[in-house]
């Protein structure tokens, strides 16, 4: 598929890397020729230097023959203009990054006028991810499927965990809960486990469960943390603003520490119920003065990964129950995950997952379209939700009789709102949604791709 990406920043480069890795024909447009040169050296992509909202530049990039244009420059207005122009030239699908909340609300009923297939907002997506984690602070990560009915959560098997030494085929009966351990990270290895797999201390496990069972699972495993009532964010950017609105509406007290005075004035006017502190959130004295030791959760949202890491580690050191760290460079997550940075989020990766899902849906023929996609286990595995349609093979055949590809597990089936954690006797019916986890290198684009006899 021919895809044009306008904007070679962090998100644009990430999308180019992922999409070119899935064998798409990628052209990058950016005003900065030096940045484009580095991308061309690192990736198998074409580049065009210039203004992506220019007719001449889009014609040079051959946008009219592209199936998709993705506009992710730093300007909402430029992104919208790029998409409108691409649509006029004949590009069938367009995606725009739009960060301004006022624009987002207006665009919901103006999508056709701008020729938009999809709108992405990394900051809003990140705030929603953080909010879900705060609702269940016992987990490192939480991803939603089936319109919130099913959750995929990540947690660490601590040294005193009752899970140590447990075989997975015994876990369901001991806990008396519908859950499934669908991926395990042990050191550098990733496992899609079978029933005789035994858990060890230090394992990071990804568990699928109906949302209604999460609270019971936390209690049964003895990993319950106190409810979060007081949150401190370090950094007062868009993520902090979006997040504060959700937290305040749910009854949580919010304190935002931001060193830019003008931004503090803006936040104070928009968030009258939040406490806005104009000071340096990287200062130990400031953090202590603002009561970090009595805070239930600290969320580091500055623009510097290194600063976020240090502040989160300090918060953990002084006993803050929950820390959440924003990272732009995901390799830091691998390096520092075991030394007190808590949960991590990467806004560009959250949006990239949504775009990858959309692109794979564009390629879908008949055989189960993709609904949701989340990268898990530090991007080493994927959890994907599909819709089973009339073209899906092996409908009504017991799962034990279906030839599945290696490194793949069916984690959940949503049958008419009934969440099934499947056994070998269960089966997929037309109209079901199916969640699977895979570590395979070949992308799964439709449900029929999971069968081994294709």
pLDDT for position 344 = 92
The first and second tokens of residue 299, run together, are 């969320």
Contact in structure between 206 and 437 (CB atoms under 8 Å): yes
Radius of gyration over every alpha carbon of the chain, rounded to an integer in angstroms: 23
In this prediction, residues 331-338 reach a mean pLDDT of 66
Residue that wins the pLDDT comparison between 229 and 104: 229
Say what the pLDDT of residue 172 is. 72
pLDDT in tens, 133-147: 999 998 989 999 988
For the record, the structure tokens of 40 come out as: 């061309």
Question: In this predicted model, what pLDDT tens digit does every residue of 133-191 receive, in sequence order?
Answer: 999 998 989 999 988 899 999 998 888 888 889 888 887 777 777 788 999 999 889 99
Nearest to 445 by CA among 379, 369, 389: 369
Q: What are phi and psi of 75, to 5 degrees?
A: -110, 125
pLDDT of residue 431: 94
**Tally of helices (H runs) and strands (E runs) in the chain:** 15, 22
The average confidence (pLDDT) of the chain is 91
Q: Would you state the pLDDT for residue 221?
A: 78
Determine the Cα–Cα distance for residues 4 and 65; give it in Å rounded to an integer: 10
Using the predicted structure, report yes or no on whether residue 104 has a pLDDT greater than 80.
no
Computed from CA positions of residues 26, 28, 29, 33, in that sequence, does the dihedral angle turn out positive or negative? negative
With beta carbons less than 8 A apart as the criterion, state whether 198 and 171 touch: no
Domains of the chain: 2-120 (3.40.50.720), 126-221 (3.30.70.1450), 230-320 (3.40.50.720), 349-450 (3.30.70.1450)
DSSP structure class, residue 442: S
Q: Taking 70 as the threshold, does the pLDDT of residue 366 lie above it?
A: no
pLDDT for the residue 274: 97
Token representation of residue 199: 């858990």
């Amino acid at each position: 598929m021919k895809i044009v990406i306008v904007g070679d920043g962090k998100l644009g480069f990430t999308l180019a890397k992922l999409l070119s890795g899935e064998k798409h024909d990628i052209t990058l447009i950016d005003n900065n020729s030096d940045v484009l040169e580095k991308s061309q050296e690192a990736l198998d992509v074409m580049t065009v230097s210039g203004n992506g909202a220019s007719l001449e530049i889009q014609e040079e990039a051959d946008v009219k023959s592209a199936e998709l244009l993705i506009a992710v420059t730093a300007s909402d207005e430029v992104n919208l203009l790029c998409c409108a122009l691409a649509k006029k030239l004949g590009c069938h699908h367009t995606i725009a990054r739009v960060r301004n909340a006022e624009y987002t609300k207006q665009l919901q009923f103006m999508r056709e006028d701008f020729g938009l297939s999809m709108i992405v907002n990394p900051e809003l997506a990140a705030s929603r991810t953080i909010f879900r984690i705060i609702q269940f602070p016992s987990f490192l990560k939480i991803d939603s499927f089936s319109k919130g009915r099913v959750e995929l959560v990540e947690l660490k098997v601590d040294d005193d965990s009752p899970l140590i030494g447990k075989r997975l085929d015994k876990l369901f009966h001991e806990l008396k809960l519908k859950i499934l351990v669908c991926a395990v990270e042990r050191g550098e290895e990733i496992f899609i486990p079978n029933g005789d797999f035994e858990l060890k201390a230090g394992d990071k496990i990804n568990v699928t469960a109906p949302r209604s069972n999460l609270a019971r699972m936390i209690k049964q495993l003895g990993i319950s943390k106190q409810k979060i009532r007081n949150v401190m964010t370090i950094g007062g950017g868009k993520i902090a603003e979006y997040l504060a609105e959700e937290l305040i509406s749910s009854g949580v007290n919010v304190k935002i520490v931001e060193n830019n005075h003008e931004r503090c004035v803006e936040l104070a006017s928009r968030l009258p119920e939040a406490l806005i502190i104009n000071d340096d959130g990287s200062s130990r004295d400031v953090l202590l003065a603002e009561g970090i030791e009595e805070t239930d959760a600290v969320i580091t949202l500055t623009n510097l990964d290194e600063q976020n890491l240090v502040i989160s580690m300090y918060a953990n050191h002084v006993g803050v129950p929950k820390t959440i760290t924003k990272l732009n460079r995901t390799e830091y997550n691998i390096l520092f995950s075991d030394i007190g940075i808590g949960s991590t989020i990467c806004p560009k990766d959250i949006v990239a997952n949504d775009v990858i899902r959309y692109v794979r849906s564009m390629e879908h023929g008949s055989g189960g379209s993709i609904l949701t996609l989340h990268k898990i286990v530090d991007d080493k595995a994927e959890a994907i939700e599909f819709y089973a349609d009339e073209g899906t093979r092996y409908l009504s055949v017991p799962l034990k009789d279906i030839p599945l590809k290696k490194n793949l597990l069916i984690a959940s089936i949503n049958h008419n709102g009934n969440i099934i954690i499947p056994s070998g006797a269960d089966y997929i019916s037309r109209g079901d949604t199916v969640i699977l986890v895979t570590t395979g290198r070949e992308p799964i684009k439709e449900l029929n791709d999971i069968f081994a006899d294709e």
